[in-house]
A and B are shown apart, each in its own frame.
Chain A
């Protein structure tokens, strides 16, 4: 921590950032790095046990599960179709028949919001998986091999962190007509930097630890040490970063769709539904309230879960 050591080296922002980079929220900066030196990663059972006493995290997890189940099954079970139009009841307020009301085409908003949730959640999760994979491989290789590989990866990370990546994503999305897969790709290849930094710092310290030294002394090949032994130590911080990653990817997707460069009609995501709602703010506020509420709830749950994971996996940070 910069402020607690009397003599400090270069204000090495890269190192200081590593811990917070995930979302610049409340964790203690150096903690991610410190966790690995000698501490066993928390076991799955311990996470479940801790969950028992944590009401916030439990309800967040339950809420996410309910949302996923609703998104998957509600459109199948509902009498309405998420794309069906009914010009007789346009912009109907919420009622027993239409719990979320209807939109400007008379579509039942509840079904449409749930169907939109499939797209939003799928993009969030897939893009996060891609981003985390790139980040883990990039960060691990960069730290383990060092030298010019390290400089290239770190330069690329610096570059991506210091340019307004969203502008470039928008630009590319306006060039191509984006589908769900292209959106995942776009978000995935622009959101890996935080994970890469965290993984790099963990691997850097794990590389020096006695167990890695022992493996080297036994003659285990370098790549095997990296993939079989060291990478396991990154699982905690990566899990924390991944939950935040889902939130970030979802916000990015809805921002793209909100600006009209994401999921194209007739398919809907929460962001594109908000885009449509803009012109009916006065007469039909529910068209804007419900899709946004869904984004908010999902992102809130992701943050709550990641805060919880951080407190379990990195006990010193509390």
Chain B
């Protein structure tokens, strides 16, 4: 187990290096390089641009620059300064990260609870009307693009019926309260969870059915366990590990979804920061977000792999 953990961590390192190289290459693929944006600004004189180039080390050969960039990022967490606001990039990211994580975690929890209930109900009454209905619902959910479901939800709940706020984290001008905040959270997190509900429930349903047809379930039945107990205690436990794989695979989708949902609902997180950065060509911020979210995904993936062994003790960690 420990050997496996160490090996997996070591495997992640080259991926992080690759990601950093990709980010760095992209930054320099921009016409004019990282300082190109400044050169376009009429308020900044060519001399100043040259000055900035030397002070940031942009006149050095690329490999040297790469090493310098890595040193700054890995040792000091220093991603440079925003081209648009002049603020340290790290501070901007740290400020928006909690909002994004809050959105993602709540979407994740919603998706997990709903998907599990759908799959369990389908497994308890296979081929019933409920099962058919839920299967069709999943198929529909997986086909709805979230920017459309988001627009439709906003149109109904915010514009037409006025139930829920359509933008931001708090109501401007009113005292901040938990209830107010939660009301703002409902729509974005529900919309973000839709994609995952569909894919997880479909997958969990198939895995559950497969587990339920195996021999040890027959033993449990013969032992006189109730249907519910079998599904909840034996079925879910055994279906959990394979489903975890799908959850891990969906992680990048969580970030993709957050850009769209945060933009749609003006949720002040990392996705919105990224979207705004695209508009004002704030490349230092964009690179930092790509890097940070990639590393986050890698770390979460690693965690999932390690949870695997806990969920399914039969898995042996061997050399492959």
Contact = CB atoms under 8 A, between A and B. Distances in A.
Interface stretch (B64-72, B101-109, B206-214): B206-214
Nearest to A12: B320
Given A24-B246, A159-B19, A292-B152, A2 B206 contact: no
B147 A162 contact: no
Given A174-B281, A259-B278, 12 more contacts: A9-B316, A17-B249, A28-B210, A159-B18, A159-B22, A162-B15, A162-B301, A167-B289, A254-B145, A285-B155, A288-B155, A303-B139
Given A26-B202, A163-B297, A299 B256 contact: no
Contact of B246 (A2, A20, A166, A303): A20
Interface of A: 1-4, 6-13, 16-17, 20-21, 23-29, 155, 158-159, 161-168, 170-172, 174-175, 247, 251, 254-255, 258-259, 261, 271, 274, 277-278, 281-282, 285, 288-289, 292, 295-296, 299-300, 302-304, 307
Contact of A11 (B30, B198, B293, B315): B315
5 contacts: A163-B290, A175-B31, A255-B260, A261-B278, A274-B151
Interface string B200-240: 00110111001100100000000000000000000000110
Interface of B: 4, 14-15, 18-19, 22, 26, 29-31, 139-140, 142-145, 147-148, 151-152, 154-155, 159-160, 198-199, 202-203, 205-207, 210-211, 214, 238-239, 241-242, 245-246, 248-252, 255-256, 259-260, 263-264, 274-275, 278-279, 281, 286, 289-290, 293-294, 297-298, 301, 305, 308-309, 312, 314-320
A316 to B, nearest CB: 11
Nearest to A297: B143
Contact of A277 (B151, B207, B290, B298): B151
Contact of B256 (A159, A166, A282, A303): A166
A163 B252 contact: yes
Contacts of B289: 167
B203 A274 contact: no
B216 to A, nearest CB: 10
Contacts of B238: 3
Given A24-B249, A259-B260, A292 B145 contact: yes
A4 B318 CA distance: 18
B241 A3 contact: yes
B9 to A, nearest CB: 14
Nearest to A304: B139
B316 A167 contact: no
B211 A3 contact: yes
Nearest to A194: B249
A286 to B, nearest CB: 11
A261 B286 CA distance: 15
B137 to A, nearest CB: 12
A281 B256 contact: no
B145 A164 contact: no
A129 to B, nearest CB: 21
A254 B147 contact: yes
A8 B144 CA distance: 37
B255 A8 contact: no
Contacts of B290: 163-164, 167-168, 171
B274 A161 contact: no
A300 B293 CA distance: 30
A8 B151 CA distance: 46
Nearest to B200: A24
Contacts of B278: 170-171, 174, 259, 261
B117 to A, nearest CB: 17
B257 to A, nearest CB: 9
Contact of A281 (B151, B298, B319, B320): B151
Contacts of B29: 175
Contacts of A278: 151, 264
